[in-house]
Amino acid sequence: MRFNAKDLASLARRPSGCFDKEGKLKICRVVGDEKLIEPRERWCRLKGNLLFLMKNKSSEASEVVILERCWIVEFRSKTAVSIVLKFQSGEPDLYLEAASKPDCESWAVALGEANSEGLQNKIQQLRRLIMEIKEERSSDEAQQFLPSSQVDNLGEPQFTSIQRIANEPKLEFSLACKDLVAATRDRKLNTFIQVSVVHPAEHILTRYSSTEIVEGTRDPLFLTGVTFPPEYPIYEETKIKLTVYDVKDKSQDTVRTSVLPDHKEPRADVGRSFLGCTTFRVGDLVKSKEQQLTLTLRTSDGGKTVGTIEVNLVKMGELEDGETDHITSDAQDQKCALVRECTATEGISGKDNLPSLNAVLKNPICKLYRFPTSDNKWMRIREQMAETTLSFHVPKELINLHIKEDMRRNQELKDLGELAPHWDNMRKSVIAHCDQMLSMYQDTLAELGKHTGSSFKSSCSKGEKTLEFIPINLHLQRMHVHSPRLKDALYDVITVGAPAAHFQGFKNGGLRKLLSKFEAERRNTGYQCIYYSPENTAKAKEVLSNINHLQPLISSHADLLLNSASQHSPDSLKNSLKMLSEKTELFVHAFKDQLVRSALLALYTARPGCVLKKPAVPRNSAEEGGDLQHQDHPSQLKRQDSIPHHSEYDEEEWDRVWANVGKSLNCVIAMVDRLLEKENINNIEDGENDPSAADCKVLHTGGDWYEQLYPLVITLKDCMGEVVTRAKQSMAFVLLQELACGLPQCLMLTLRRDIVFSQALAGLVCGFIIKLHTSLHDQGFLQQLHTVGLLVQYEGLLSTYSEEAGMLEDMAVGISDLQKVMFKVIEAKSEDFLPVITGRREHYVIEVQLPAKMFELLPQEIKEGKLLRMYPVLFNVGINEQQTLAERFGDTTLQENINQENLELLKEYYKLFTEKMPPDCLPHFQEQNDLKGLLENLHQNIQAKKRKNVEIMWLAATICRKLNGVRFTCCKSAKDRTSMSVTLEQCSILRDEHQLHKDFFIRALDCMRREGCRIENVLKNVKCRKYAFNMIQLMAFPKYYRPPEGTYGKADT
């Protein structure tokens, strides 16, 4: 045989991972039964059909054995640890001795499969599959010569559809194996089934799903199955291939934790071995009398029988008859759970809400489980996960509002008029910086407008600048429980990465620290500008917002009043006057604050040529901005260091201008009353005269009404215009001081806060819409919603060490800002059900659109547009190895303060709930004492300051569910720690609320983490089915937050 010695030597020196098997063996040559020499220890490496023999692991290969035309003689005694390779050529046999019996068996299997016969077996398997496909290809070939229109006409009827209930899965079946044959004697099998589909139209084998691994039995009862969703193209002619594998080492089973193309078969050296396979037609299962098939499992060459597999049709929505004693007794050592693949989402509320939900939820994934209860009955669990279009819709709406708001502010600064050189230079600098930030917002919005594809931001993209407003990995996680003796229950959790400005980084901390530091520095700005407290600045923004909102409304109602006068319509005149009076009173009330008067004085002193009686000096007290509100006389202004006083300024002029609006309105009201009174008198007199004369009177007096009201309305508009001009300029001057005192930090903090708020708001809107849809028939919840408000509970898993401390600071501020968000439910006027956002920073209103049928189910208060309040609370407990460092060497004060502050907010919400709601509105028929006890327990746990006290999160989540709240779970990217928490919460609910069998708690937990929706979430984010943990990290995790073996490790993305 010709060979290249250099190539063989190079092959032998390759890294260990490149070989099928390697290890130490004692080797010698044998003639007959006599060993030529004593066995010598060699390092053996097997690659394909080549066995390299080396003196040690690092030396050169001393011999190469070609494993062809040879066979293995294995000694069957229990103590034998050797095998013999016999060659057809007659050359001396090769004696191989291993260190142990299992090692010997392992080498025997590897060497037996190494020759060309193993390759031939694979070829035979592929040929058999090709023949199966060719059986149905003849009809396709006949259609090749038909016009495409005829092919379309013939294509659909040739496949028989499966008749199922609307919006229910087309096909579901469970699986079990019997009498499996192991490759080696005395080996306990760890098996799972891979399910593949052969589509009748395409004749392509597509890998569809896999079951969980059942350990240690030759008769694995897979409480497992497969689900095909309503839209999946499956017909009676579709073939299903079931392949059974034996997993040698779960931690090395890389095929189940990585992504392979559908057409590629896994290699045999990745921790599992092929046992057998079988194929069946869907129609055979559906039409079978017992709705069950018993199939024979055969080896790849189709010859040897290795066991049987039972396929049982499952009808969803029907309770299973029979007890589960045989499961809990025979399968105690099996990792049991029912898992089925599905991609359809559904809700308890029925199909009426599907259009509006489909506008929000996208790309759903569904898994089904079946677990035994403590009384040996079955309960079914459907776990669902879906991403949401709101991940991009809400941030784009917000950025658009930011742009409009900032453009108005920049224009208001320009409209301040002529200023003294110092103030004018300050204004120019502020406008330049604001224009730069405005351009950045516009660029971001343009980039988001170009985004196509997935509707969620993966964890790998959290540092991308163009996506910094988008929430990380936002998904709905839903569990639907169907119990034999209890009502169906639905449990929702929104999972999202902690709202934080990842692109900007956390070198100087997060928003909580940065805002506090900025406010302290702004108080010491010296002579550069006038200090206004945050409360006064917020008040200025509110006044400007009221002006922009009320002025066009008043003008509109004034025009309607004149129109009613011209038509001589008393009723219309009354209604128009009523609306005009209400809006004008609100307008007048908006300027009642002392801030407007003091800001006008400050603006006056900033005009060119103004001579100050007392120069401005820096103030040292943080309360001076607040003291200004109580100064009613010009002489008192001398005590205000930050605002100068001018002797020529007429403070009463503003009072006169402001009061003129009210006086003008009173004149309009008096004139309308006079006209209506005169009209009543004329009607009485005209009733005694000729009706035709009365008609002439109407025509004559109509013009009189308009002519008498017109000058009064014009005066009202003029007075209002003068007030608006002065108030706008004064409030714009206040905003100028805010911006000038902290350039450019002020704008950068505003940007950071906008980014964090955008991420937080997207999650909140998703949670509110889902909660509203699932609770439309719950009158108690709807009453609670408009009477008290909605509790929104965030569970944080961030550590207080390094960068995650900054993320937690960002998250705390972002969630706190959600208190200022109001929701409003409106009836949809089109097929676009996406929410609409209105308002400005710190005062946003989210308008949620519902179809007419759903809108009619709401209470009258909500239908009339009542604004609905949110009560967000955050409880954080770090659980990873970084939190261990923070607890031992760092500081956990941030976490303790956040938990304590939010406990008070939760208590406040509970107090409102008990005051405004009847006791019978508590869900799950719980008494108020239960909630009081939970709150007290939560208080004690927060005060205890125990390390990694995860009971805080469990208690907060329980309280939230009992108060009809919306649950959120967050970590850095909502991928790994969030998955551990969500699956633990789901299994805890099954145990506490639905009587999950105690022996199945850990098994259910492992199954959800290994085969459930959360491992699919990991796959979506990093293209690998592995949680990003290592063994050292997991040693620091609480016990129940550790994933099962084989599901974690380094994720090669």
Report, as residue numbers or ranges, the catalytic residues.
971
β-bridge partners, 26: 41, 97
Cα–Cα distance measured from residue 379 to residue 804, given in angstroms and rounded to the nearest whole number: 40
Rounded distance between C-alpha atoms, residue 717 and residue 554, angstroms: 8
Tally of CB atoms within 10 A around 188: 11
Cis status of the peptide bond prior to 744, with omega within 30 of 0: yes
Q: CA angle, 732 as apex, 726 and 733 as ends, to 5°?
A: 90
Quickly list DSSP for 467-498: GTTSPBS-EEEEEEEE-SSS--EEEEEEE---
Is residue 494 within 8 Å of residue 763, measured between CB atoms? yes
Tokens of 182: 């192991």
Number of H helices, E strands in the chain: 30, 28
Containing H/E element for 728? helix 691-740
Q: Can you tell me the distance from the alpha carbon of 528 to that of 716, in angstroms, rounded to the nearest whole number?
A: 39
Q: Locate tokens 């017992």: which residue? A: 290
Spatial contact of 93 and 30, defined as CB atoms under 8 Å apart: yes
Query: Three-class SS of residue 1036?
Result: coil
Tokens encoding 463: 């540092």
Residue 364 CA to residue 386 CA, distance in Å, equals 4
Strand segments, DSSP code E, in 149-299 are: 171-178, 190-198, 205-210, 214-215, 224-228, 239-247, 272-281, 292-298
Could you tell me the two tokens for 791?
A: 């509790």
Q: Are strands 966-970 and 790-796 parallel, antiparallel or unpaired?
A: parallel
Q: How far is CA 5 from CA 13, 60, 64, 298, in A?
A: 13, 12, 10, 41
- Give the helix ranges, DSSP H, for 374-474: 390-414, 421-450
- Residues 235 and 161: beta-carbon distance below 8 Å: yes
Torsion angles phi and psi, residue 588, rounded to 5: -65, -40
Outline where 292-420 has alpha helix (H): 325-330, 354-358, 390-414
User: Which residue carries 């327990």 as its tokens?
Assistant: 937
What's the residue count for the chain? 1053
b/e map 64-92, b = 16+ CB within 10 Å: bbebeebebebeeeeeebbbbbebeeeee
Q: How many CA atoms lie within 13 A of 708 on its CB side?
A: 18
DSSP state of 870: E
Buried b (16+ CB within 10 A) or exposed e, 901-929: ebbebbeebbebbeeebeeebbeeeeeee
Torsion sign over Cα 375, 1006, 189, 367: positive
Report CA-CA distances (Å) from 321 to 315, 324, 325, 379: 12, 9, 12, 11
Parallel/antiparallel/unpaired status of strands 966-970 and 489-495: parallel
Q: For residue 143, give the nearest of 161, 133, 156, 125 by alpha carbon.
A: 156
Residues of the chain by 3-state class (helix, strand, coil), percent to 5: 50, 20, 35
